[in-house]
Amino acid sequence: MNPDLHLGTWISTGSAAVAELAALCGLDWILLDLEHGCESEAMVPGQLRALRGTGTRGIVRVGAPHADLIGRVLDWGAAGVMVPHVESAVAAEAIVQAAHHAPRGRRGFARTVRACDYGLRPAEAKARPFLHAQIETLAGVRACAEIAAVDGIDVLFVGPADLQHDLGRLGKDAPIDYATCLETVASAARAAGKQAGILLRDAADLARHRDLGFSQIAVDSDLSILRKAWTGSVAAART
* Cα distance from N-terminal residue to C-terminal residue, the chain: 38
- How do residues 178-191 score in pLDDT, each as one tens digit? 999 999 999 999 99
Question: Is the four-CA dihedral 140, 141, 146, 147 of positive or negative sign?
Answer: positive
- How do residues 155-173 score in pLDDT, each as one tens digit? 999 999 999 999 998 887 8
Q: Check if 36 is active-site.
A: yes
Strands (E), 43-194: 57-61, 80-83, 130-135, 153-158
Residue 126 has what pLDDT?
78
Tell me the C-alpha distance between 68 and 227, whole Å.
Answer: 34
* pLDDT greater than 70 at residue 118: yes
Residues in contact with 47: Cβ distance below 8 Å, sequence separation at least 6, in sequence order = 11, 14, 15, 16, 19, 32, 58
* pLDDT greater than 50 at residue 62: yes
Domains recognised in the chain with CATH numbers: 6-237 (3.20.20.60)
Q: Mean of the pLDDT values across residues 117-143?
A: 92
Q: From the candidates 36, 85, 100, 101, give the one annotated as an active-site residue.
A: 36
Outline where 100-212 has alpha helix (H). 138-142, 144-148, 160-170, 178-191, 206-212
pTM score of the predicted model = 0.95
Q: pLDDT band for position 3 (50/70/90)?
A: low
* pLDDT greater than 60 at residue 1: no
